[in-house]
Amino acid sequence: MHHSKKHAFEPKIVAFVCTWCTYAGADLAGTSRLQYPANVRVLKFPCTGRIDPVFILRAFQKGADGVLVSGCHPGDCHYMAGNLHARRRFAAFRTLIEFVGVDLDRLEFSWVSAAEGGKWVEVVTELTNRILTMGPLEEFKALEAEECWSGKLDTPELQEAYNNI
């Protein structure tokens, strides 16, 4: 299989979206034949309230270079408040992973309604282009490849114990 890749690096973008607003918005982009980069893979949830931060973390671990979480605008949630719970949860989570050293430019949150096909295209295109200039997310990949303790044997005792193994 020969790919006609446009770029040396094709970012892997994962989008976690709610079914009622953003998924429908992405459908609208389709029915309107709007064009956007093919890098995004969409995972559908009933509501952004269902999206566990663990999923975002796991997506990064499994090779995502960028993650998008998108749902209904406040007040539009099919389940009334799932997106508002999610808003707090993700506000907390993003500060946490930023503190751990993940560049927040790789994690995008948006409200895209079922009528905002254009906004979906905009958000996805912008994120893809941004990741393209940032390059691959090496940190998690490198971590995944590491097998054991990366710390140095920095005391004589440890060094000696190691030599005796």
Partner 1 sequence: MNKSAQKLDVTPLVDESYCAAATQAIRCEATRLLTEGTVAAVIGYQAGRRKGTAMPTIVSSPEKAAELIFSSACVNNLALYLTKAKKEVRGKGRLAIVAKGCDMRALAGLIAESQVKRDELVIIGVACAGVYASGADRAAPLTNATIARKCRECVVHLPEGADLLAGSLPQQPMLTPLESQELARLEALTPAGRWAFWKEHFSRCVRCMACRQVCPFCYCEQCLCDRNRPQALESTPRPAGNMAWHIVRAMHLAGRCAGCAECERVCPMDIPLNLLNRKMAKELKELYGYEAGLQPQEKGPLAEYKDTDDQSFIK
Partner 2 sequence: MSRIGVFICHCGENISRTVDVERVAAAARKLPGVAFAIDYKYMCSDPGQGLVKKVVVEQRLDGVVVAACSPRMHEKTFRNAVKSAGLNPFLCEMANIREHCSWVHEDREEATAKALDIVRLMVERVKKNKALQPITVPITKRSLVIGGGIAGIQAALDIADCGHQVVLVEREPSIGGHMAQLSETFPTLDCSQCIMTPKMVDVANHPNIRLYTYAEVESVDGYIGNFSITIRKKARSVIEEKCTGCGICSTKCPQKKIKSEFDCNLGSRPAIYVPFPQAVPNTPVIDRANCTWFKSGKCGVCAKVCGPGAIDYNQEDELVVEPVGAIVVATGFDLYDIGPKPADSPIDGYGEFGYGTIPDVIDGMTFERLASASGPTGGKIIRPSDGKEPKQVVFIQCVGSRAREKGISYCSKICCMYTAKHTMLYHHKVHDGQAYVFFMDARTPGKNYDEFWRRAVEEEEAVYIRGMVSRLYQKGDKVVVMGSDVLVGVQVEIEADLVVLATAVQARSGADTLAQKLGISYDKYTFYSEAHAKLKPVECATAGIYLAGACQGPKDIPDAVSQASAAAAKVMTLFARDQLEREPIVARVNERTCVACFYCKKVCPYGAVEEKEIRDRQGNLIRVVAYVNPGVCGGCGTCQATCPSKSVELDGYTDEQVMAMIDAL
Which residues are at the interface with partner 2 (CB under 8 A)?
Answer: 2-4, 6, 12, 14, 19, 23-24, 26-27, 29-31, 33-36, 38, 41-47, 49-53, 55, 58-59, 62-64, 75, 78-82, 85-86, 89, 121
Round to whole Å and give the CA distance between 56 and 68: 9
**DSSP string of 39-92, one letter each residue:** TEEEEEES-GGG--HHHHHHHHHTT-SEEEEEEPPTT--TTSSHHHHHHHHHHH
* Near partner 1 in 43-102, by CB under 8 A: 53-54, 57-58, 61, 74, 81, 84-85, 87-102
Site membership for partner 1, residue 12 (CB under 8 A): no
Angle (nearest 5°) at CA 59 between 126 and 35:
30
The residue (of 23 and 93) whose beta carbon lies closer to partner 1 is: 93
Of 41 and 160, which has the nearer Cβ to partner 2? 41
